Structure 1
Amino acid sequence: METIISDCDIIGNPKMLFESDSVPQKSAPEMTSGPLPSGKSNNVGLHNSAQTSFSHGKSSSFQNQGSNTQNFRPTVQPPYQPPPNYKNHGAIMRNEAPARIIPIAALNPYQGRWAIKARVTAKGDLLRYNNARGDGKVFSFDLLDSDGGEIRVICFNAVVDRFYDTIEVGKVYVISKGSLKPAQKNFNHLKNEWEIFLETTSSVDLCPDEDASIPRQQFSFRPISEIENVESNSILDVIGVVVTVNPSVPILRKNGMETQRRILNLKDQSGRSVELTLWGDFCNREGQQMEEMVETGIYPIVAVKAGKVNDFSGKSISTISATQLFINPDFPEAHSLRDWFDRGGKDTSSHSISREVMPGGMKNETRKSLAQIKDEGLGRSDKPDWITVKATVSFIKTDNFCYTACPLMIGDRQCNKKVTKSGNSRWLCDRCNQEFEECDYRYLLQVQVQDHTGLTWVTAFQETGEEILGCSAKELYMLKYEAQDEQRFVETIRNCLFTEFLLKLKIKEEIYGDEQRVKITVVKAEKK
């Protein structure tokens, strides 16, 4: 029987093996008629129409074996080798080149390696805090580069120990290997949407050579006339001539700590003036220096970097922890302001945008009638309204016209908290937690006033009560309860009735229990 092998494709690159090259082979075992085993068929069918015949018998062999048969050596595969394992062998290659210095404005959280070269323009105090994770400390500093870009850098805990003593205002540093996070605009006034958080791996290198291309400070001054329309709590820069400096006074904060406050008045070419309130160390450093200069007839120029706008009784500026003051700076704006002031600006009148009562009388009066308080809904906004009215005292409540107050001093200020009698007939102050033999007496007057449009009730405390009645609360208390001279007491009250006053009022809505009421307080009373 003949088996015809169909045409096949050649796979690979086979090498022809002739009988003379082959090793001696044993005779093939007997084979019965049937298909060729698959292992043998791979040696035939390489040429078109190739034929192979088999003969039956006790032995079978290939015909024409010497001339037509092609044999191929089997392919030898190399032994299996697993892929190389680099685990725990470290990096194959490390880029030791320094990061490229880029502008602050180009920083973003998606950059892998960066560095900035900038000058420190401000350094915050070291602050300590306590939260659920325990105690901690933090400080920050502001940077300015040669392109005018600004950014704040923040350090916490162990990073504070590394860099707090290293950072100096005015020095230039190259900073790298920090992380960028969104800026917290409640505490950060810089014009940058990111903040840099330094880490233990961060690098802060001082540049030994001064770089004149980086300015020492950057300002964006606003004229005083524009501050009147600026939103409260805004942070801005302002420059002006210091025309008055008030003495420094102690202030007791809500947390029980005492600090210093000093109020200055600034004016500029815009025809407006504004109060500048200094807090804390500013009072005894720059504040004391400017007070001495004004007393000798020298009116300094002061540039305020990062002042906070307040709208309590008009618009004013106050210092915060990030504020910087520059006295008589070498700026073009300062030279222009000095030239204006010396050439006649000193004698020009200016309108104050700060309506707080200042020494010398009321300023920036907003005259209203009593009817307008209700008609215009004064006092019902988030901030109090301040107005001046011309009104006549028509009635004064004589029961509970004063209260017993604590006479103890907290710093240079009197406590004035209400006191009560203790079991041993001594006075007790819950705030000071002390007892004493005698207490003080302070006015808490309920006064009815009227003008041509209507009438209303107002409250007058100690100083304004004395301005209205003409005597102290202690004197009036002793007259009624100790001397029991009712006639003189009534006469004192009647003497101020139907007297016309120019009253400065603070109007604010307050909550009493579940009820909202508009409270009107007299902050100044001048007899007409």
Structure 2
Amino acid sequence: MEKLTTGTLMRFAKNSICGEQPILQVLNIKLMDSKPVNGSSMTASQYKKTQRYRLILSDGKHFLPSCVLTVQLNELVVNGQLQEYSIIRLDRYLRSDLKGQTAKMILQILQVTVLDIATHKIGNPVSLLTVNLNENETLTTSITQNVLQPKVTGSVFKQPIVPITNDLPTLPPPLSTTMTTDVDSIKSNRLFKIEALNPFQNRWTIRVRVSSKTPMRTYANGEGRLFSCDIIDETSEIRANGFGDDCDRFEPLLIVGNIYYITQAQIKYANKQFNTLNNDFEMTFNNETIIEPCLDNIQPNIPMQRLHFISIDQIQNIETNSFIDVIGIIISIKDMIHGKSKQNKDYTKRDILILDRTGQITATLWYRIAENFQTSTVRSVIMLKGASVNDFNGGRTLSVLASTQVHIDPDLPIAHELRKWYLEEGMNIDMTDLTLQSNKHENISWKTFGQVAEYESSMASIGNSEIFRIKAVCTFVRHDPVYKACSRFDCKKKLQDNNDGTYYCLKCDLNYEDFKLLYMTSILLSDSTGYQWVSFFEKESEILFGCPPEQFPYGKSKDDEEKAYQKLTSICGQEKMFLIRVKLNHYNNHDRLQFTCVGIESIDARLMCHLYLEDIGKMSCTLSD
């Protein structure tokens, strides 16, 4: 068993720990009973994902009860890897003091490695908060240099971290006469990285670059004003919002591409309806916020954009409603379409087809983005940051929302390489369109349910997901395949009936008077070798039942129940070729397989004969061996 690094917590309290990766023991783990900050529009599910665990850590001599696990490491507790009496190594961590008092000292754990699990408490440690420190040594509020360590193999964080220094440059007087600043206030705060920010800190300074900014706009019938910008550093990115008078103070000052020091803004939970960045928090400017341009002689190594491009052929493995970054060539632009949604609301959209070296996919532009998009951009490079992945007939499409950043011909090496490839050879190559559900599926294997049962014993080999086709019969359909869903075009959450004529959406955290009907059911499919429950959603259910969900008998009357029963039994006995996606999910500390139908085809006799002959040929080879 690993030996604990005795005395490390005392050195930590005195800010004399430098570059250590101490080995400690977990004495207790408790879920923090914290609530979102006031004004947070976070839903219950989003709040659950951002809950934090408090740990009591011991070095064998002292223990510290105020240790907080970053939300990215919650999975270690949920899956049981990190538990009471675990022996751990702190790879990256951060000290926070509230008003410089040791009694309010907090250790934030950013990266940890679980080494072993003991059966008992090691030593007889006493609380570090009750120990008298050397009176001649003054506690400071600065972060020890190099406390944030570089990347460790097998760590949760993949981006290299630049060591933080507490030597801040002397800033010149503010450039904007409309903003009152206090340079001493900035210098007295600690220099943080974006990935370490959370609502529990009250004194911090970050050095960031503005990567994008939205124009100032109005809301609430023109009475309110707001703007937002995305800011980045070497470790992460975060959305910053300004409202009311703060728009006049900060919107002219913040210039895209420039670097700034920012302090005393409010950190709160991000509203994922409008914020597509990979950060659980967002920032709001207020009357105490101070922003100073960074005029250092040596500029910090902060990228202009934080991009994680996904190739088009990998989009089919991405879960729907996820947000991704994509770059490609625009090969076609369709006419703008004006229409009304099922809720009788006007919408404007335009579809474009984009291509990269691996495939092509349709991206749908909405509202102002669709109206302002220039048709002359055909064969230009387009970069989409924060595009939403949607499902269409078993294929994939991209949706460009108001929060999506759209750049035409960006000045990036990958964009120049893509354009060169397209002009030299790409325009003459036929690419797979992920938008369309192929009718042949030559590269998708054919299986029986007997073979599917083998997945249970080899779950780890599945990866993210796997698609196969199977000839099967619908044996049984569960009742109520139609449900009342949220009326927002980008939300499909099942509504809760308030019994007063309104419905509540847990995802949007709003009440609605109307709803939309969607399909979602589970059907038992079987063949001669076995059976399997399979989930069916909108498109596939509509193909199977032969009508849209609005026409499905949905009601409580006896006549509706009889029609619904006839509709459900009418598909039983039907034999089809089904495309099934099997995916490994982790639920309640158990791995389980989820089977979802992503396509339905009629039986092609010629194709089936070809498949049978292939199987017979394989069997003949096996017998001859």
Normalising by structure 2, what TM-score? 0.40
TM-score, structure 1 length as denominator? 0.46
User: Larger % of helix: which?
Assistant: 2
